[in-house]
Structure 1
Amino acid sequence: MPFALHLLGLAVFAQGTSEFMLSGLGPEIAADLGVSLSAAGALTSAFAVGMVIGAPLMAALSRRWSRRAALLSFLGAFLLVHVLAAVTDSFAVLLVSRAVGALANAGFLAVALMTATAMVPPDAKGRATSTLLGGVTLACVVGVPAGALLGQLWGWRAAFWAVALLSLPAFAGILHSVPRGAAATGGAGVRHELRALRDGRLLLTLLLGALVNGATFCTFTYLAPLFTRVTGFGEGWVPVVLALFGAGSFVGVAVGGRIADRRPVALLAGGGAALLVGWVLFVLLAARPVAALVLVLVQGALSFAVGSTLISQALYAATGAPTLAGGFATAAFNVGAAVGPWAGGVALGAGMGFRSPLAVSALLVALALVSAGLARQVWYRRTGSVSTGVRSR
Structure 2
Amino acid sequence: MRKKLLPLALGGLGIGSTEFVMMGILPDVAKEFSISIPQAGHMISAYALGVVIGAPTLVALSSKIAPKKILFGLMALFTVFNTLSAFAPNNTILFFSRLLSGLPHGAFFGVGSVVASQLADKGKQARAIAIMFSGLTVANLVTVPIGTYIGHEYSWRYTFASIGIIGLITLASIYFILPSLPARKESNIRSELKVFSRLDPWLIFLITAIGTGGLFCWISYIAPLMTEVARFKSSSVPYILIVAGFGMVVGNFIGGKLADSLKPASATIVLLFAMAVTLVLIYFFSESQIASIILTFIAGSCSLALAAPIQLLMIDSSKGAEMLGASITQAAFNLGNALGAYLGGLPVAAGLGYTSPAMVGVLMALGGAGFAWILIAKRKKTAAIPEHEESLGSPAYVP
- What TM-score, normalized by structure 1, do the two folds share? 0.84
CA offset at residue 253 of structure 1? 1.7
1:250–1:344 Cα change, 3 Å = same
Distance in 2 (CA, whole Å) between partners of 1:372 and 1:384 is 19
CA offset at residue 179 of structure 1? 2.3
1:373-388 pair list within 5 angstroms: 373-381=373-381, 383-384=383-384
Structure 2 counterpart of 1:336: 336
CA offset at residue 310 of structure 1? 0.7
Distance in 1 (CA, whole Å) between partners of 2:311 and 2:317 is 10
| Kept in 2: contact 1:16–1:136 (CA 8 A) | yes
1:53–1:129 Cα change, 3 Å = same
Distance in 1 (CA, whole Å) between partners of 2:227 and 2:243 is 15
1:214-229 pair list within 5 angstroms: 214-229=213-228
Q: What 5-or-longer segments of structure 2 have no aligned partner?
A: 386-394
Structure 2 counterpart of 1:250: 249
Question: Cα deviation per residue 1:192-220 (whole Å; 9 max; x = unaligned)?
Answer: 22221232322222221222321221111
SS at match of 1:187: coil
More off after superposition, 348-357 vs 366-375: 348-357
Residue identity (%):
28
The letter of the residue matching 2:365 is V
| Kept in 1: contact 2:24–2:237 (CA 8 A) | no
Distance in 2 (CA, whole Å) between partners of 1:324 and 1:209 is 16
| Kept in 2: contact 1:209–1:307 (CA 8 A) | no
Structure 1 counterpart of 2:306: 306
| Kept in 2: contact 1:26–1:40 (CA 8 A) | yes
CA offset at residue 64 of structure 1? 1.3
CA offset at residue 27 of structure 1? 6.2
Distance in 1 (CA, whole Å) between partners of 2:350 and 2:83 is 39
Structure 2 counterpart of 1:49: 49
Give aligned pairs, total.
Answer: 388
1:293–1:35 Cα change, 3 Å = closer
| Kept in 2: contact 1:224–1:238 (CA 8 A) | yes
1:349–1:134 Cα change, 3 Å = same
Q: What 5-or-longer segments of structure 1 have no aligned partner?
A: none
Distance in 2 (CA, whole Å) between partners of 1:235 and 1:208 is 34
CA offset at residue 56 of structure 1? 0.7
| Kept in 2: contact 1:193–1:324 (CA 8 A) | yes
The letter of the residue matching 1:280 is V
More off after superposition, 356-365 vs 88-97: 88-97
1:110-259 pair list within 5 angstroms: 110-120=110-120, 127-183=127-183, 185=184, 187-257=186-256
Structure 1 counterpart of 2:98: 98
CA offset at residue 79 of structure 1? 1.8
The letter of the residue matching 1:219 is W
How large is the Cα RMSD of the aligned pairs?
3.3
CA offset at residue 368 of structure 1? 1.8
| Kept in 2: contact 1:12–1:135 (CA 8 A) | yes
1:154–1:219 Cα change, 3 Å = closer
Structure 1 counterpart of 2:392: none
Distance in 2 (CA, whole Å) between partners of 1:276 and 1:39 is 26
Distance in 2 (CA, whole Å) between partners of 1:268 and 1:79 is 34
CA offset at residue 294 of structure 1? 1.5
Distance in 1 (CA, whole Å) between partners of 2:129 and 2:61 is 23
- What TM-score, normalized by structure 2, do the two folds share? 0.83
CA offset at residue 87 of structure 1? 5.0
1:62–1:262 Cα change, 3 Å = farther
Distance in 1 (CA, whole Å) between partners of 2:355 and 2:91 is 34
The letter of the residue matching 1:79 is T
